[in-house]
Copies of this chain bind each other. A is one copy, B any other.
Amino acid sequence: MANAEGEQPLLGRLLDPSPQPNQKQTNKKGRFRRCRSAPSVDVPHPEKIVGGLLPGSQIIFGDLHPSFVQVATLLTIYLGAGTICFFVVRNQIGGGKTNGILDAVYFCVVTMTTVGYGDLVPNSPLTKLLACAFVFSGMALVGLILSKAADYLVEKQEMLLVKSLLRHKGGEREIVKELETNRVKYKFVLILILLLLLIIAGTMFLYWYEKLDLVDAFYCVCSTITTLGYGDKSFSTKMGRVFAVFWILASTICLAQFFLYLAELNTERRQHLLVHWVLNKAMTSTDLEAADLDSDGVVSAPEFIIYKLKEMGKIKQEDIDLLMEEFEDLDIDQSGTLSISDLKLAQSSQRWS
């Protein structure tokens, strides 16, 4: 399945220049008036700038909500087209049938999630090739759901959970701070709870409506959410297939998202270890020399920050080189610093060129 771990939320966050709620006031010794290099509030919202500069970037840089709508629309189109296709060729699909339209939706969902029970199987070359087309596009769509919509939904619920947990403790500020710090952990716990609920719901449903014994019901649930789908046990009644359409989509996506969060937690843990190591490593004279970008013999605060960020692996030498080039281009008066005079020189040269 396609992966885009936190891709949209990340982009969403990086394009939001509003001061982050858990910014600590770090000028504790009062030597730096403002140590935030964040664009200040009077700068127009980058998203608007991007939208103005790059055509079509509204789609590329769209925030969470529009991409959720986009995914929902695509899913509806996919299921609609799938249902029509498989309903038209329903006589070329063999196996235990219930109701024409219902079986078509059910077959479509079982195919797109790659569960593939085999209780309904295409038995003509046309339907076989149609199934091939639908499984590939279905996989891509599930990947899109995982990268865009699923994370969005979990984040929404997460906000509610943290709000209810911290109701007596603090205001909006504390909630957002708590969320920022332990975001992945909360998401992981939430998805785990959701997954357990879906497993229990599926098992109970199969036990009562499909009349399977408890082990068989649990086995069918596991075989479904993992997309294994041996097919010896599946949903054979009308009611069962109605339930299956929603439950299979939700539970397979939920398990995949669970694994994604697990990987994210692991990555975060490694990153924390690395940051911890970089922060606790003593500076040596060699470090001082290496960090001294302008070779003036001392390391200023921004030089120190760049050096440590590089050690943490957050930035690469290429990024620094690229920006250094850009800086030297902008520094028209060659003073070694950018000032209002450089901006004025740049404007006048633009006017003349």
Contacts and interface: CB of A to CB of B under 8 A. Distances in A.
Interface of A: 1-5, 7, 10-11, 13-15, 19-20, 22-24, 26-29, 31-40, 42-43, 46, 49-50, 53-54, 57, 60-61, 111, 114-118, 121-123, 125, 128-129, 131-132, 135-136, 139-140, 143, 147, 215-216, 218-219, 222-223, 226-232, 256, 259-260, 262-263, 266-267, 270, 273-275, 277, 279, 281-291, 293-295, 297-328, 330, 334-340, 343, 346
Given A53-B277, A60-B273, A309-B323, 13 more contacts: A14-B313, A27-B324, A43-B287, A49-B277, A54-B277, A114-B228, A116-B230, A123-B232, A129-B215, A135-B226, A282-B346, A288-B343, A302-B306
Nearest to A116: B228
Nearest to A299: B338
Contact of A1 (B1, B53, B287, B293): B1
A121 B231 CA distance: 9
27 contacts: A1-B1, A3-B260, A14-B313, A20-B316, A24-B321, A28-B328, A32-B293, A34-B293, A38-B310, A38-B317, A43-B286, A49-B277, A54-B273, A117-B118, A118-B231, A121-B231, A121-B232, A131-B223, A132-B222, A147-B263, A228-B229, A229-B229, A279-B326, A284-B343, A294-B302, A302-B302, A305-B320
A339 B122 CA distance: 75
A339 B299 contact: yes
Contacts of A222: 131-132, 135-136
A310 B306 CA distance: 12
A304 B324 CA distance: 8
Given A53-B277, A283-B338, A305-B306, A226 B114 contact: yes
